[in-house]
Structures are given as C-alpha cells and as structure tokens.
Structure 1
C-alpha cells in the first residue's frame, strides 16, 4: 500500500512540475510577444503623429483587415469572447493564428488612427498561445481551461504592467459576481512571469502623475479616508457607472445597426473610417485618435493631461463617440484604454465641479469606468493600487464597486456569464 501511495505522490509531483514548466514557458512567450506589441504601438503612433495624412487611409486599411479576416480568419474573429466561451465550454480550441491576426490588425488600426485599445489584443495573444501550448503537450480539457485562464492573466498583466490585477481579472471576467479560486495561483504565476518578461525587453509602462495620497490633518498625520471626499467619490462613481453602461450599450446597439445597414462584415470598417475622418474635421483636432495616453500636440487632451489642472469639459464625450464608431464597425484592438481615457476625462470634469483633487478623480474615473464596463471591480481596484499607489485604495474601491453596481449587467464581454447564462443570452432574454 505504501508503494502505491508513494508512486501516486511521485506521479503527482511530476505532473505539477510538468505543468509549472509549461506555464513558465508560456508566460515568457506571452510577455515577450506583448513587449513586441507595445513597441510596435509606440512606433506606429509616432509615425501617425508625424504623418497626419495617414488618417485618410483609415477606411481602406479597415477594409483590407476586414477582407483578411473574411478570407482567412473567420474562426478567430470572435476574439476575447471566443476564449471565454472556450473556458466555459471546451471544444475545438482557439486557433494559434488568432495571435498574429489580431496583433497585425491592431497595429494597422493604430497606424491609421482608429480609436481602439490594446487589451483585446493582449488577451487574444495570451489565449491563442495557451490553446496552442495545450494542444502541443496533449493536456486534458480541465488543464486546458486552466492554461487559457492563465493566458488571459498573462496577456492583461503584461500589457498594462499590473500583474496582480491581471490574475484577478482573468478569474473575475469569466462569471459576473463569482470567482473560481482554483486557478488563482497559476494565473498569478503566469501574470507575474509575463510581466517580468515584458519588462526584461526594456518596455516601460506609463507613469500617471497622481500626487494625492491622503488628507494631511492639523497634527501632520495623513488621513487616508476623508468622509466628505469619500461621499463625493461615491457620487462621482454613479456617473462613472452610467458612462460604462452607455459605452457598452452604444457599442452593442450600433454594431447591430451596422450589421443591418451593411451585411458584408469586411466592408463595415469603411463606414467607421469615414466617420472618424468626419469627426476629426468637426472637432478640429486629432486628440481622440489612437490610444490617447499622451497628447498628440502640446495642450491636447490625453489621459496624462487629465491628471493636471487644465479643464477638458467635452473630451469624455468625443472619445466615447470616436471609440464606439470604430468598434461597432469592426476595427480590431480593444476597449480598455479608451475606457481609461473616458473615465479620466470624466473625472477631470467632476473634480472641477465638486472642488476636489483633480488627479484623484482622474485616477478613480480611470479604473471605475473600466470596472463598470467589464464587471470586474476587484481587479480594477487592484489595478488602481498597482498604477497609482496604495494610499488611495479606499477611494478606488468605492469608485469601482459603486460604478459596477450602477452599470448593471451590461458589459463589453458578451461571453461573460451571469450565473449559468452569458451576457448575450441575458440581454436576449430581457428583450424578449
């Protein structure tokens, strides 16, 4: 009997070591690909700013990418939702070609000025590499699900430089209101290693200038929770949650309209490209193209700019319109960085209205609007800590959780589940 037990333990240890080796290899690969992706985004963004005329090629670039997916990538067009579906109901797996398809398509989108993000690409890169790794090593379905979750964590954590938030996001995004802690340790391991690997290539993540780290009292002590300020954060978070709802609903509803107006999937990006050019002409600047992390010109609207004293009253609205148009028409990229922009811009406006620290409200809006749109309040609270410091964690938590409640069950990931239903099924049931 002892021999049998020892053999079982030995085989179990070998199995854990095997999975750990696979996980480390996968995480290094994902982190390295994300480093390449971030470098390419910097290159094409600088190129777009230096050559403004590239914007007029956006409709043609969108059609070219649409045709590429139509001819060769129909089975990977589902993107991040396809990966989440595969975790819930394992099937044929996620094809490896999803990674190069979405990476190239996103780089093209940014080169010509589409207002898209980068998290969708990172998640798809992580998921497709994880699925290919599972097939390569002949892993069981349960092991494949774990590896796919780790792929999401590694992609998200490395592309934003937030490994702890990446691990929790990978668990939280699967099912609304429920966390499955079975995959927490491997997801955290994958996210941390991928982040290390990404940084090892010399990639530097953005520093956001949040100086507010609490209220200084009369005796010189630092008070991290001011009741009045906390109440104002909660009130602002209601607005952040409504913005999350408006964003998600606008993308879904406009996408449905686009399908009716233009049944050909590969032609829809032309509509979004032409609309973007017209919007630039109407606005009179190019502040709302691409990621919008840094201003395209001095004094322009950008995420970093919203942390300063300048007032940007309508930037949140313009970024909302620019992003909804291109995402609904089929451009590849992601929603998260535009949501960061939207939240920080709204925080800038509300800070001036409520007479509170602008940088604090920009930071709270930054994470809260994303929390409401993705239904991931815990991950976004941790993201706030990793990006801005732990001194304002109470305000981040208030903002993220209130925004998530106010945004309802509408979300940007339609394959996210509510109990046993996906958000797509829940929305359909509500309408019927």
Structure 2
C-alpha cells in the first residue's frame, strides 16, 4: 500500500483537490445564485435604485484598486494563467467579483453571471494550486476544472461546463486530456450547487416536426441561415463591447470614473427608451408582459428586444461593471431567434432555442459546448438543427470573440493565418 501511495501520490493529491475544489465552487455558486435572485427582486421593488448605478460602479472600482488590481483581468486572466503561468490568480478575485456583480444587478446594470462563476472557479482552483504546490500539467488541469465547475454549476449544465472548460482555451481544438477532470469537476460542482436547493431556469423540451426527410432538410437549411444571422450579431456584440471599452479607457483614464460614465449612460438609455425591461439578467420580469429569456419560448415573435438588450449590455460591460456576457447573450440570441421565426417559417420556440445557444457558441467560440448545452436544456430532439446552427454561427462570427485571451489553434477559414490570441483579431472585422 505504501508503495502504491508513493507511486501515485501526485494523482491521488490531484483527485482529492479536484473534488474538494468542485464542492467549494458549487457551494459558492449556490450562494451567489441565491443572492443574485434576491438583489434582482429588491431592484424590481425599488426601481429608483437605478439612480445609484454610477456611484455603486465607482465603489466597486475602488475596491478592486484597493485590494487587487490584478483581479480586474477577469476571465482573460484565468485563460492567460492556463496558457502560461504568470503571477497567478489572486484569491481576492472571488469575493470581489461576487460583490461587484451583485452591486451591478442591484442597481440595474445589464450583465450576466457566467463571468462571476468562471472567476469564482478559477480563483478558488488557483487557491488549491498554491496551497498544494501543484505545478505543470496538474496545475493546468485544476484551473481548467475550476472553469468547468463554475460554468456547469451556475447554469445547471455540467456536460456543457466540462466541454466549455476545454474548448474555451483555443479556437479549433479540444484538449481531450483534460476531459475527465473537467467532467468530474463540473458534475461535482453542479451536484453541490443543487444540494443547496438551487433551481435553474426551466426551458421546454422540444422536438423536430416529423414531416419526412424533405422537411428535415429544409429545416436544417433554415437553421444554417439563422446561424449565420446569429453569428453576425455575435460579432457585432463582441466588436461593439471591445471598441466602446477601448474608447472609454482612452476618453476616461481614471478607472474609478469609467463606471460613473457607464452608469449615467445606462440611466440615459432607460429614459430614452422609457423602460427598465432591459436591465439585469433578463430572466425574471418586473411586470407582466416584460420581455424575458424564458418568455421568448412562449410569447409571440418579438422584433427588437434582442437589439435593445445588446445596447444596454454593451453600455454596462464596456464601462467596467462586473458580471458576465453569457446570460445577456442568451437573451439576445433567443430574442433574435424569436424575430427570425416568422421570416423563416419556423416555430418560435425552436428558433428561440437555436438563437440562444448559437449566440454563445459564436461569441465565445465554443460551438461544441453550446450544442451540448442545447441538448441538456432542450432535449436531444433538436440535436441536428442545434449542431447546424451552432457551427454556422461559429463560422460566421469571424476570429474575434468576447474572450481576448483565447488562442487561435486552428483558423476557422483555411486561408487566414492564425494569430497568437484573439487580441490580434479585434483590430478589424475582416
């Protein structure tokens, strides 16, 4: 036994650390989701809180400057650390991003929750790495497991979380050596999160119409067309977010003042459009009839909610507020699918589902993870059209994306020269 333990000491240490880390991440995500729901309902009851958004954003920026400026790197910092070890991921990132995201949602910023979960997972995983002295491949695998755990737990999709953890690192490749650790981490974290009584958003299980091979071929063609439209909008979102962010950083050098500018901009947008329906996650409704992500699957086609959500979200995230892009991207994608449904002659729920997962697949350059997520959320009945939509959106979105630290392992188009990271691809749309 001693010889066995000595021989496999590193493997045993890693396995125990992976499970312990996933349990902690799942529990942290449960607490975060509970708090996020609570602050959202408080904002619904007190819509005047929106006027505090500029001050709240400045307060969060001060906390980051006071306790960990490195944590400002967010998801990109975690990807950089997985690619090549640097100064590490500060443990302070976990409480800072949770607090920052809750402030954003309490005061009306349009943001998501995936960024918080991924940073929770990466920060806590790096804490285990530091304390156990893991290096090399073990270190990299635990950080990837942290990303998978956070993503899988916050959305209740552990299989997608596992694939996301290995696919988000680089375009055009999957590190299958990390598949098992990421799967274990995502499953354990999801189970831990659910054990606290957390309930995730429910979506309808959908099936393809059984009208023969010709009808299926036509539906697949329509899914491809919809995917191209989704990919172009995903490209617009990523470019707008990066471009406006760079402009604001140049216009307002002081980090404390950028969220003030952003908060004023979000307030102005709410006044101009006369609504607060496009603030927050977009999952819960402040009043009957408000556009919501689940509502796109049951309501009549919605023409413009996707565009308004895009504008509000870019205004929020590009000016330094904390949160994430994924849930707003789900809203934008499902809303766009709803708008395309009557034009393509496809049922609204089917198009909303395709738009929802394909939008993230295109913006994050993770089509496989998002196709898997679609199967987890909507059932295997939509499998063929989900895959077609995700691949078409991925190809149409270009080499940019929401995560600038992704590497380009294999370009989407053969004639394009691969760059080191997506940062080189953000200079132009072409």
Q: Where on the TM-score scale, by shorter chain, does this alignment land: which range?
A: over 0.9
Structure 1 gaps of 5+ residues are 1-5
Secondary structure of the corresponding residue to residue 228 of structure 1: helix
Measured in 2, the distance between the counterparts of 1:205 and 1:46 equals 16
Runs of 4+ in 1 over 6 A off after TM superposition: none
- Is 1:215 equivalent to 2:209 in the alignment? yes
Q: 2:223 touches 2:385 (CA, 8 Å); kept in 1?
A: yes
Q: 1:30 touches 1:155 (CA, 8 Å); kept in 2?
A: yes
* Structure 1 match to 2:128: 133
5 Å matches for 1:60-71?
60-71=55-66
Q: TM-score, normalised by structure 1?
A: 0.94
Q: 2:88 touches 2:126 (CA, 8 Å); kept in 1?
A: yes
Measured in 2, the distance between the counterparts of 1:134 and 1:353 equals 52
Measured in 1, the distance between the counterparts of 2:130 and 2:273 equals 49
Q: 1:40 touches 1:107 (CA, 8 Å); kept in 2?
A: yes
Q: 2:234 touches 2:397 (CA, 8 Å); kept in 1?
A: yes
1:111 is displaced (CA, Å) by: 0.3
Q: TM-score, normalised by structure 2?
A: 0.95
Q: 1:294 touches 1:305 (CA, 8 Å); kept in 2?
A: no
* Structure 1 match to 2:415: none
Q: 1:214 touches 1:225 (CA, 8 Å); kept in 2?
A: no
1:260 is displaced (CA, Å) by: 1.5
- Is 1:80 equivalent to 2:75 in the alignment? yes
Q: 1:295 touches 1:305 (CA, 8 Å); kept in 2?
A: no
* Structure 2 match to 1:53: 48
* Structure 2 match to 1:425: 424
Deviates more, 1:404-413 or 1:137-146: 137-146
- Is 1:179 equivalent to 2:179 in the alignment? no
Q: 2:68 touches 2:90 (CA, 8 Å); kept in 1?
A: no
- Is 1:107 equivalent to 2:97 in the alignment? no
Deviates more, 1:15-24 or 1:297-306: 15-24
Measured in 1, the distance between the counterparts of 2:363 and 2:429 equals 20
- Is 1:146 equivalent to 2:136 in the alignment? no
Measured in 2, the distance between the counterparts of 1:241 and 1:100 equals 34
* Structure 1 match to 2:18: 23
Secondary structure of the corresponding residue to residue 226 of structure 1: helix
Measured in 2, the distance between the counterparts of 1:305 and 1:353 equals 19
For residues 361-388 of structure 1, give each alpha carbon's deviation from its aligned partner in whole angstroms, at most 9, with x where no partner exists.
Answer: 0000000011100000000000001111
Check 1:224–1:173 CA distance in 2 against 1; reply closer, same or farther (3 A cut): farther
Measured in 1, the distance between the counterparts of 2:3 and 2:138 equals 19
Secondary structure of the corresponding residue to residue 216 of structure 1: coil
Secondary structure of the corresponding residue to residue 316 of structure 1: helix
Measured in 1, the distance between the counterparts of 2:214 and 2:24 equals 40
1:20 is displaced (CA, Å) by: 1.2
1:224 is displaced (CA, Å) by: 11
1:285 is displaced (CA, Å) by: 1.7
* Structure 2 match to 1:3: none
Measured in 1, the distance between the counterparts of 2:48 and 2:290 equals 19
For residues 80-126 of structure 1, give each alpha carbon's deviation from its aligned partner in whole angstroms, at most 9, with x where no partner exists.
Answer: 10000001111221111100000000001000010000000000000
Secondary structure of the corresponding residue to residue 8 of structure 2: helix
* Structure 1 match to 2:377: 387
Residue of 217, 221, 244 corresponding to 1:227: 217
Measured in 2, the distance between the counterparts of 1:309 and 1:265 equals 41
Q: 2:114 touches 2:324 (CA, 8 Å); kept in 1?
A: yes
Q: 2:400 touches 2:425 (CA, 8 Å); kept in 1?
A: no
Check 1:340–1:13 CA distance in 2 against 1; reply closer, same or farther (3 A cut): same
Q: 1:117 touches 1:291 (CA, 8 Å); kept in 2?
A: yes
Q: 2:98 touches 2:116 (CA, 8 Å); kept in 1?
A: yes
Measured in 2, the distance between the counterparts of 1:186 and 1:126 equals 14
1:294 is displaced (CA, Å) by: 2.4
Check 1:224–1:345 CA distance in 2 against 1; reply closer, same or farther (3 A cut): farther
Secondary structure of the corresponding residue to residue 77 of structure 1: helix
Residue of 237, 242, 262 corresponding to 2:227: 237
Structure 2 gaps of 5+ residues are 410-418
Q: How many residues align?
A: 421
* Structure 1 match to 2:400: 410
Check 1:227–1:280 CA distance in 2 against 1; reply closer, same or farther (3 A cut): same
1:180 is displaced (CA, Å) by: 1.1
Q: 2:231 touches 2:395 (CA, 8 Å); kept in 1?
A: yes
Cα RMSD of the aligned pairs, angstroms, is 1.8
* Structure 2 match to 1:361: 351
Measured in 1, the distance between the counterparts of 2:235 and 2:340 equals 18
- Is 1:292 equivalent to 2:291 in the alignment? no
Q: 1:39 touches 1:203 (CA, 8 Å); kept in 2?
A: yes
For residues 337-396 of structure 1, give each alpha carbon's deviation from its aligned partner in whole angstroms, at most 9, with x where no partner exists.
Answer: 000000000000000222211000000000001110000000000000111111101111
- Is 1:257 equivalent to 2:247 in the alignment? yes
1:10 is displaced (CA, Å) by: 4.6
- Is 1:123 equivalent to 2:113 in the alignment? no
Check 1:90–1:307 CA distance in 2 against 1; reply closer, same or farther (3 A cut): same
5 Å matches for 1:197-212?
197-210=192-205, 212=206
Q: 1:224 touches 1:391 (CA, 8 Å); kept in 2?
A: no
